[in-house]
A and B are shown apart, each in its own frame.
Chain A
Amino acid sequence: MKYTVILNGCSSSFIHQAEEIRGFLSDNKQNPTLGYTIIFYNDEAKKDELMTNSPTTYIKLVKVIRYQPENFLEILEKLENNKETSLYIFPSDFAGSELSVRFAYRLLGSSLVSVNKIKLEKNELICHKALYSNNMQGEFALRKKPYCISIAKGFSNKKQSLKSTKYLVFKVDMTDIEKDDFIKKYDLKKPEKVIGLEDSKFLLAAGRGVRTRAKVERLEMIASEIGAKLGVSRPIAMNAWVPMNQLIGVSGAMTKPDLCIAVGVSGAAAFFAGIEKCKYIVAINTDSNASIVKSSNVAIIDDYQSVLEELFKIINSSQ
């Protein structure tokens, strides 16, 4: 059985993509398997770094102009028309989710997005993924090869060691592929503020109970003073009171801090998935029936503002 990982080496998130795929492969060891990684890249200077971080020993390098899904799909179709690969694994990012589905359609295979566990059987791939806005876990059988999956967020584990030996199977220049003539103008701007919620050790999480922009700004200030980062639930982000990259949950950041203080958070499953891997959760909420209370390690049932301001004073005076 052969599997192939597809990575976007044109992206600044390449290392993260490679880490999460290594985490996924390590949690889902299949026997016997032979793995390849196709890495798209556009910068010759970065080739060594891309190869070193590859999650598999065997690597295929494909040079492109930039990430463009229509072009990537056209190239993959050309390169992978030999039907040798049973399973394609894509990272959890926007590109991975998109490519997995569209590539499966083109290869007449089957696809599933945000998969968190797999088991390869003779004629099917058993996959697990979250459903019902993260309230339920579903088990699926994919039966049409090639199986194309994108993995769920949260598999990144920086402690894993890299295999030292890497073999370059081939290197090919596909910069002449142009399936993007529907684009008249193209402008990519880097985000102004990188938050890094995923790597934060201490998180202050704010939810719907924080009702105004001024209160969110106060939380930003408290978070910064006590050495935490502020993340928010969907209603706060939708009001544009903070940038969208501070959103926590299935459609935002999947964090794994050592400590999280959740204020005014109801604990909806789609949000909780974003702090599920937190080692210790403190909930402050007026509603003792809010699901965050059951999902926390310790909770205070009270107005979050009063408690947090008192806590802020205590932490400040102890520093």
Chain B
Amino acid sequence: MKILVCFKAVPDLDMMSDDDWVVDCELNVDISFVKAILNCFDESALEMTLKLSESMEGFNAPLNLTALTIGDKRKDSFLKTLYALRFDKAVRINNYEDIRFMPEVVAAVISKYVREIAYQDVIVLGRQSGEGDNAKTPLLLAEILGWPCITQVVKIELDDSASLKVTSMADDGILTQTLRTPCVLSVGNTPNSYMRIPTLRDKMKYGKTPIEVLDIESFDINPIVNTCKNDCELLSLKKISNNREGFIIDGRTPAEKAQILYDLYLKERLEEL
């Protein structure tokens, strides 16, 4: 079974201070100084797939794992780590265009990769990622390919060579379905899914495997970019301010501070609850 995991490296926005949120005339925010991290849902998707692969060791049902990202050369470090974690192939689609709010472009590129370059049985990807927060890519990808889509996936197990047992969070509870492939799996909030760290030995042995780099221009994205710009145009971008009074209680000991908090700010409020 061939599985493609698509991921995005995103800026660690928790490191931004209030003053860092400056919007330029092209509605960009400078995040170049913030370190890149794996989008949390994509990280879960990668770890979930590694767990699936691990669970199949010893079975006569080979799993072929490909990781794909769209971005510039700086994303290669993530792909090298994935090679070290025993992904079979790591692909980067080189891009410098601003596609933050164009999930249609991302979905079109991935679908073209699957249709024209390397067919896959399953595509796994996080449900949304910071910056754009579009939450549309897996859904659009399923629509373009005409495949079913399972959202809020939290666990993937193998059923047989052409089907998977997929657990997902639904509005009414926990849904477990056995599905025929092909399908798109959109990963949601998944406990215990921080991505593992490769051993130094595997880093040395596999981390230098060449990354397959493709140019986004070869995916003929210009017509879609133009459509996106018109159909869903970003007009303005403003910082959300959450500031309140932020009054700091002074006191010598935790006990004294707790007493002031209770007497002056909590007592009445607790009585009213």
Contacts and interface: CB of A to CB of B under 8 A. Distances in A.
Q: Do A and B come from one complex?
A: yes
B231 A110 contact: yes
Interface of B: 13-14, 16, 18, 21, 23, 29, 40, 101, 130-136, 139-140, 142-144, 148-149, 151-152, 154, 159, 163, 165, 169-180, 183, 188-194, 230-240, 242-249, 251, 254-255, 257-259, 261-262, 265-267, 269-270, 272-273
A252 B249 contact: no
Contacts of B178: 183-185
Interface in A10-69: 11-13, 67, 69
A87 interface: no
Interface stretch (A170-178, A209-217, A286-294): A286-294
10 contacts: A111-B232, A137-B238, A140-B101, A185-B178, A188-B175, A202-B273, A227-B273, A258-B272, A295-B246, A299-B248
B270 A259 contact: yes
A131 B261 contact: no
B235 A94 contact: no
A140 B265 CA distance: 41
B237 A189 contact: no
A217 B253 CA distance: 25
Name, among B16, B133, B193, the residue most crowded by chain A CB atoms within 10 Å (CB to CB): B133
Contacts of A306: 254-255
Q: Is the interface of A mostly helix, strand, loop or mixed?
A: mixed
B174 A143 contact: no
B269 A247 contact: no
B171 A132 contact: no
Name, among A135, A142, A247, the residue most crowded by chain B CB atoms within 10 Å (CB to CB): A135
A189 B174 contact: yes
Contacts, number: 265
Contacts of A130: 133, 240
A195 interface: no
Nearest to A98: B151
B135 A114 contact: yes
Given A237-B191, A238-B194, A247-B189, A132 B140 contact: no
A187 B254 CA distance: 50
B273 A138 contact: no
B102 to A, nearest CB: 12
B231 A144 contact: yes
Interface string A288-319: 10010111111111110011111100110010
A240 B139 contact: no
A136 B237 contact: yes
Contacts of A255: none
A133 B231 contact: no
A84 B265 CA distance: 55
A6 interface: no
B133 A189 contact: no
A140 B172 contact: no
A239 interface: yes
Interface in A107-160: 110-114, 126, 129-144
Contacts of B154: 244
Nearest to A308: B258
B7 to A, nearest CB: 17
Contacts of B254: 302-303, 306-307, 309-310
Given A132-B131, A135-B13, A300 B248 contact: yes
